[in-house]
């Protein structure tokens, strides 16, 4: 247990020391948020609701990004640099290593969500009940599980260049198509229909429901679970194939 704790702690420290993480997952979403709510103000009916909506989008965007990018790339790098091989010669099991990475990452997400909520909330003076803040935060935290699984799948890639390219592409595509940068209603009909099948849309939609005082839809939850299962099966399969050699 102590090993898992130490490992998680160090893993979280490593994420915070990563400048790319600080820039892409903390600074970027906040800058975006301030820009879209104060500089490029959209013509919307209920501006207070829009500010809340976009704050959820940005927090989800950030957490989804670090789930896909940080975890996946770390796994690929550590395998290519031989660190994973070294760990196999120590008494620590692969499961502990993997769990620690996930938990460490989740701890980082807790911090990210708090920072984005607090700074965004203060900039625009957003008022929500404590329950709303907490449930929205929880949703963003645990709704990221399919993206952590996707990160794990990217982590089975051979080259870190490929992994980095693929994860960047997926990240941006998921953000745009999930309506995290622009409300779904402004998008073409075709994309709106496609979004029903995209995990990032349901991830965002859950948080958008919560701030409107509704519960996240059951369909959305099922879609997210289905994606998690598929990503996990795929990465387990790929890992087996690689180890068979």
The residue ranges that bind other proteins (CB under 8 A) are 2-3, 6-7, 10, 13-14, 17-18, 78, 81-83, 85-86, 88-92
Structure tokens at 16: 């915070």
Nearer to other proteins, 18 or 192 (CB): 18
Q: Which of 149, 138, 144 is nearest to 228 (CA)?
A: 149
Give 166's contacts (C-beta < 8 A, 6+ positions apart).
154, 157
Nearer to other proteins, 77 or 192 (CB): 77
Nearer to other proteins, 21 or 117 (CB): 21
Q: How far is the CB of 13 from other proteins (least distance, A)?
A: 7
Contact 100, 7 (CB under 8 A): yes
Q: How far is the CB of 92 from other proteins (least distance, A)?
A: 5
Nearer to other proteins, 119 or 164 (CB): 164
Q: How far is the CB of 4 from other proteins (least distance, A)?
A: 10
Distance CA 175, CA 191 (A): 13
Q: Which of 40, 34, 39, 41 is nearest to 58 (CA)?
A: 34
Distance from the Cα of residue 198 to its chain's centroid: 14
Give 204's contacts (C-beta < 8 A, 6+ positions apart).
56, 57, 60, 178, 179, 180
Q: How far is the CB of 91 from other proteins (least distance, A)?
A: 4
DSSP labels for 20-82? HHIIIIIIHHHHHHHIIIIIS----S-HHHHHHHHHHHHHHHHHHHHIIIIIHHHHHHHHHTT
Location of structure tokens 């091989």: 85
């Amino acid at each position: 247990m102590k090993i898992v704790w130490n490992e998680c702690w160090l893993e979280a420290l490593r994420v915070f020391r990563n400048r790319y993480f600080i820039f892409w997952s903390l600074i970027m979403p906040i800058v975006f948020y301030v820009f879209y709510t104060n500089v490029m103000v959209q013509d919307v009916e209920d501006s207070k609701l829009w500010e809340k909506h976009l704050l959820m989008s940005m927090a989800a965007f950030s957490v989804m990004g670090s789930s896909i990018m940080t975890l996946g790339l770390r796994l690929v790098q550590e395998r290519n640099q031989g660190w994973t091989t070294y760990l196999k010669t120590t008494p620590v099991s692969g499961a502990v290593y993997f769990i620690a990475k996930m938990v460490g990452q989740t701890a980082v997400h807790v911090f990210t969500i708090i920072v984005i909520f607090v700074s965004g909330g203060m900039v625009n003076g957003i008022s929500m009940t404590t329950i709303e803040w907490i449930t929205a935060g929880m949703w963003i935290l645990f709704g990221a599980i399919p993206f952590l699984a996707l990160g794990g799948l990217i982590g089975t890639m051979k080259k870190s260049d490929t992994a980095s390219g693929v994860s960047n592409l997926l990240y941006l595509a998921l953000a745009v198509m999930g309506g995290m940068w622009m409300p779904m209603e402004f998008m073409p009909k075709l994309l709106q229909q496609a979004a029903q099948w995209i995990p990032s849309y349901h991830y965002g939609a859950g948080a958008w429901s919560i701030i409107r005082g509704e519960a996240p839809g059951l369909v959305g939850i099922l879609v997210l679970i289905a994606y998690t299962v598929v990503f996990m099966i795929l990465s387990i399969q790929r890992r087996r194939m690689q180890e068979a050699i």
